[in-house]
Structure 1
Amino acid sequence: MEHYLDIIQKLKEEFPIGTVQFTGSKRPYIPNQVYTDRLESATESKWNKVIKELDINVTHRYVKAIVTITIGEHSRDGYGVAIIKGDPEQDPSGVINAVDLAMNSAFIEALDSFQMGWRDLAPHKTSEKEWGSNPALSHLLSTEPPNGSTPTNPRALTSHICLVCSKPLIQADWELLNHVPNLRRDKMIYCFNDIPAHHKRKIPEFEISNYLLRIK
């Protein structure tokens, strides 16, 4: 398997024009099969998916799924919920469809934490209050490839203020928060020293080591 950072860079690459599709309500999305193909290609098929939890609640008509995607030594969880439509006793296919939807949603959410598809979906998420309009993610709207950008000083101060010590984060702090699974980086802002222990434990060890090397 290639170096983990090289794989992640491939996962983040923009998809071909036309990849993004739209639901009947005009919601943009990238098909599950596209994500799977990119994952297979980038990792040379060396990845793993585990169903961590599958809760089929017929009484309350919902299915909840938690899926874990592992690449090398690094794992990410994704969560998905789907409504069971119709009467399960009369038509069991409603349960099967809900399971498929919940599993697919969990799979895509896990891959979303690797920033797959962000550059493709960002242009369709630029209305007020949508994540694509956030200034911190404006680089996703750039037509310039990431490799063509100027390297950022990891010790450069940012405009993001730590919730605990009220000091500005350095660039390396801000980037490290990206590796905390399911952390809302726009709201839960911490410098390295003040990241809560339960969040810090979720950061892959490689990312911690890389952070410490960058700020030396």
Structure 2
Amino acid sequence: MNLSPEDLQKVYREIHDQLIAEFPPGTVEYRENDSDSKYIPVQPYIHRLETAAGMHWSWRLSGQPQIFDREEQIMVTGILKIVEAEREGIGFANFQRYEDTGKIKNLKYAILSASSDALRNACDLFEMGWKDLAPYRKWAKNPGTGLSVPLTGAGKNMEEQSSHRNCVVCQKPLTLNDEEYLKELNIKHPYHREHIPQHLVKNQTKNR
């Protein structure tokens, strides 16, 4: 782009404002084996990059994938470029080996999965998805993140939004506010805040 540094900065800021906007409700998902692990799949990130940056973004892997035999994981790094700004992401994926040959049986899938993880990591360094993940991240309460203003969409009305779990007492869906309170108290079973047994609250308060 044959633009002055000032004009490049202006273009980047205009694109960045679109990149960090909240995603549609329902974009944040939870992993099937860990209901406390909220994340955004790679596809919404790619769609946002396409719609906001168009031809002004690119993604490439940097270096060769690294294999960690002991952990049975593969690691890749990649560079996400938006206008003239670059961020390096790092990603991991698990792999399995054939018992007879020792070869990795799902190498291609593992590399693709690690690459997607790396792209999400690079998007995070551009502050993409922060507003959507803020209700589930302790760091979001830090005013230095710039997220100390009231959030809209996915980040508002935690008292009203339902989680995927039902209270063991009344069998009604928990709210995101209930989930956050349970997480603070390290209580695994789903309870509405008003239905939490007092002995659990007292025990967790003592352990703090």
* Alpha-carbon displacement from aligned partner over 1:93-128 (angstroms, at most 9, x marks no partner): 432232122111111111111100000000122xxx
What percentage of residue pairs aligned between the two structures are identical? 30
Contact 1:54–1:63 (8 Å) recurs in 2: no
Which residue of structure 1 lines up, in the alignment, with residue 140 of structure 2?
A: 132
Unaligned runs of 5+ in 2: 2-9, 154-208
Q: In the aligned structure 1, how far is the partner of 2:61 from the partner of 2:134?
A: 29
Q: In the aligned structure 2, how far is the partner of 1:18 from the partner of 1:9?
A: 21
Taking the TM superposition and a 5 Å limit, the aligned residue runs for 1:1-216 are 3-24=11-32, 25-26=34-35, 27-57=37-67, 59-60=69-70, 61-87=72-98, 89=101, 92-125=104-137, 130-137=138-145, 139=147, 142-143=150-151
Q: Are residues 70 and 36 of structure 1, via their aligned partners in 2, closer, same or farther at CA, if it must alter by over 3 Å?
A: same
Q: In the aligned structure 1, how far is the partner of 2:128 from the partner of 2:148?
A: 12
Q: In the aligned structure 2, how far is the partner of 1:17 from the partner of 1:64?
A: 31
Larger Rg: 2
Contact 1:48–1:69 (8 Å) recurs in 2: yes
Which residue of structure 2 lines up, in the alignment, with residue 181 of structure 1?
A: none
> What is the count of residue pairs matched by the alignment?
141
Contact 2:140–2:147 (8 Å) recurs in 1: no
Structure 1 residue 74: deviation in Å?
A: 1.2
SS in structure 2 of the partner of residue 116 of structure 1: coil
* Structure 2 letter corresponding to 1:19: T
Contact 2:97–2:105 (8 Å) recurs in 1: no
Unaligned runs of 5+ in 1: 146-216
Q: Are residues 39 and 3 of structure 1, via their aligned partners in 2, closer, same or farther at CA, if it must alter by over 3 Å?
A: same
* Structure 1 letter corresponding to 2:89: G
Q: In the aligned structure 2, how far is the partner of 1:49 from the partner of 1:142?
A: 32
TM-score (normalised: structure 2):
0.59
TM-score (normalised: structure 1):
0.57
Runs of 4+ residues deviating >4 angstroms: none
Q: In the aligned structure 2, how far is the partner of 1:5 from the partner of 1:74?
A: 11
* Alpha-carbon displacement from aligned partner over 1:9-37 (angstroms, at most 9, x marks no partner): 10000111111111120211111110000
Contact 2:142–2:148 (8 Å) recurs in 1: no
RMSD: 2.6
* Structure 1 letter corresponding to 2:31: T
Q: In the aligned structure 2, how far is the partner of 1:140 from the partner of 1:91?
A: 49
Structure 1 residue 56: deviation in Å?
A: 4.0
